[in-house]
């Protein structure tokens, strides 16, 4: 079968002398960077850089305008009703910690409980775990069904009048299936429970509408969307920002300070103390433009087709086993174990062939323990992959098994 990426040439790393014949199958960890994004960052840094939101001179005012324009575009991308609902952070991890310490910490008591799912990345577990430990609250874990998605009916049984927060991923990083987050968020809203969605993995599928989902918070990282690291986003539903306190304080977030007290700004800027990571924000905006120009419809149609091919070819290998039963939807990633061969050995052997996959617990140790395993191999797709990558993976896995299986 021939599935060829029309976008591969947009990514300069495939022409890098240092990585000839790169087969990159780790986009769930980070997406590679299109030239257009790198160029936008280079041009900004060379020709337009200044501090934003501070200077009154033209160069600085222009940078402020760029950052606020990026905020507007991200609001549009997420289906948010206002740019004032968009906070720039350093990534999903910071976004989730921000919710924890700016908001949830002001509400939590020893009676409270917080619900997460069994599949969460440590970024969407540790902030809640620590708060619960600190305040004597309880952390409840919603199980997954056989298809690896959150079991709504089981989750509902964990909810009671002391449930403060439900923090779940739209799509988890090891399993990759989409959770019924709309159903969960709507139920939570009807019961006055706050919801936080970790969108780190889902964001590269586009088509997000936070209004429609009815979530309170939505977090994602720019580098999972073909942008740079160092820039992320937290959507905070209108009305919540006013109730939140900055968890990190410093320059740029106040309207009045004396030696003894401060009065903070009201909008998202109150969480963006210090100097903005403007070059990364510019990169994220360029990534959005790049993806919009291709169109989400074309991106998803391509990746679904490629993913279908990947699932089919991997299913032909009787010596590898997906860590959860496959459902009918085709996620862009596949996590598995190989009979009698350690996951790290699989990844190291593939690396010799120039094939980059992830092996380990993928920052989801409790999930692996729940599944009764300590590690898995994960392959994940991006815009630059095509059928030759999958064919090379299949050959690499077959060779690895032949060489390393212990009889
Ligand atoms: N949540 C999920 C589901 C993720 O996949 C990741 C990144 N692997 C994160 C959170 C954390 O993202 P970041 O490291 O960009 O903060």
Q: What is the pLDDT of residue 324?
A: 83
- Cβ(200) to ligand 1 under 6 A? yes
Q: What is the pLDDT of residue 281?
A: 98
- Domain boundary among the residues 236, 268, 291 is at 291
How many domains is the chain partitioned into structurally?
Answer: 2
Report the separation in Å between the CA atom of 215 and the middle of ligand 1, taken as the mean of its atom positions: 19
Angle at 244 between CA 239 and CA 248, to 5 degrees: 140
- Domain boundary among the residues 291, 312, 344 is at 291
Domain range for 50: 38-291
Task: Say whether both 305 and 285 belong to one domain.
Answer: no
- Cβ(123) to ligand 1 under 6 A? yes
The minimum-distance atom of ligand 1 relative to the CA of 91 is 16
The minimum-distance atom of ligand 1 relative to the CA of 123 is 10
Q: What is the pLDDT of residue 200?
A: 98
- Cβ(120) to ligand 1 under 6 A? no
From the list 23, 46, 132, 363, the catalytic residue is 363
Task: Say whether both 164 and 243 belong to one domain.
Answer: yes
- Domain boundary among the residues 269, 291, 313 is at 291
Q: What is the pLDDT of residue 72?
A: 98
Report the separation in Å between the CA atom of 189 and the middle of ligand 1, taken as the mean of its atom positions: 25
Task: Say whether both 15 and 106 belong to one domain.
Answer: no
Within 13 Å and on the Cβ side, how many CA atoms surround 218?
28
In this structure, are residues 110 and 137 in contact, taking their beta carbons and an 8 Å threshold? yes
Q: What is the pLDDT of residue 329?
A: 61
* CATH number of the domain encompassing residue 17: 3.90.1150.10
In this structure, are residues 220 and 377 in contact, taking their beta carbons and an 8 Å threshold? no
**Other C-beta atoms within 10 Å of 51: how many?**
15
> What is the β-pairing status of strands 262-264 and 254-257?
antiparallel
Task: Say whether both 161 and 255 belong to one domain.
Answer: yes
Question: How far is CA 397 from its chain centroid?
Answer: 27
The minimum-distance atom of ligand 1 relative to the CA of 90 is 16
Q: What is the pLDDT of residue 407?
A: 65
Quote the ipTM score: 0.99
Task: Say whether both 138 and 227 belong to one domain.
Answer: yes
Q: What is the pLDDT of residue 331?
A: 76
10-residue averages of pLDDT along the chain (407 residues): 94 95 97 98 98 94 97 98 97 98 98 98 98 98 93 97 98 92 98 98 97 98 98 97 94 93 94 97 98 98 95 94 73 91 96 96 92 94 98 98 85
- Cβ(117) to ligand 1 under 6 A? no
Residues linked to residue 167 through DSSP beta bridges, in sequence order: 116, 196
231 is catalytic: no
Q: What is the pLDDT of residue 1?
A: 75
């Amino acid at each position: 079968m021939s599935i060829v990426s029309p976008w591969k040439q947009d990514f300069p790393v495939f022409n890098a002398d240092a990585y000839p014949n790169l087969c990159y199958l780790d986009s769930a960890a980070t997406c590679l960077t299109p030239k257009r994004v790198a160029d936008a960052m280079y041009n900004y840094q060379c020709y337009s850089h200044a501090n934003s939101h501070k200077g009154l001179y033209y160069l600085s005012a222009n940078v402020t305008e760029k950052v606020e324009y990026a905020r507007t575009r991200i609001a549009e991308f997420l289906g948010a009703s206002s740019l004032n609902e968009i906070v720039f952070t350093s990534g999903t991890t910071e976004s989730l910690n921000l919710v924890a310490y700016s908001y949830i910490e002001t509400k939590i008591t020893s009676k409270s409980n917080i619900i997460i799912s069994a599949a969460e990345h440590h970024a969407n577990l540790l902030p809640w775990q620590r708060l619960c430990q600190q305040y004597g609250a309880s952390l409840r874990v919603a199980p997954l069904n056989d298809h690896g998605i959150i079991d709504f009916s089981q989750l509902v049984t964990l909810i009671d009048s002391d449930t403060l927060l439900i923090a779940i991923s739209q799509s988890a990083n090891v399993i990759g299936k989409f959770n019924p987050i709309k159903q969960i968020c709507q139920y939570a809203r009807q019961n006055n429970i706050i919801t936080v969605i970790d969108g780190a993995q889902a964001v590269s599928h586009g088509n997000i509408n936070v209004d429609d989902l009815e979530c309170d918070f939505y977090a994602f990282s720019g580098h999972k969307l073909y942008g740079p690291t160092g820039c992320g986003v937290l959507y905070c539903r209108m009305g919540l920002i006013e109730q939140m306190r900055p968890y990190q304080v410093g320059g740029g977030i106040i309207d009045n300070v004396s030696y003894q007290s401060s009065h903070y700004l009201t909008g998202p800027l109150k969480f963006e103390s210090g100097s903005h990571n403007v070059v990364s924000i510019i990169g994220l905006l360029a990534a959005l433009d790049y993806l919009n120009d291709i169109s989400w419809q074309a991106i998803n149609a391509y990746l679904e087709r490629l993913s279908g091919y990947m699932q089919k070819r991997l299913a032909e290998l009787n010596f590898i086993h997906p860590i959860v039963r496959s459902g009918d939807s085709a996620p862009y990633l596949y996590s598995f174990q190989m009979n009698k061969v350690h996951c790290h050995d699989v990844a190291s052997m593939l690396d010799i062939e120039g094939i980059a996959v992830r092996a380990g617990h993928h920052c989801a140790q409790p999930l692996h323990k729940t599944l009764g395993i300590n590690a898995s191999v994960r392959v994940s797709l991006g815009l630059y992959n095509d059928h030759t990558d999958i064919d090379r993976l299949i050959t690499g896995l077959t060779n690895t098994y032949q060489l390393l299986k212990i009889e």
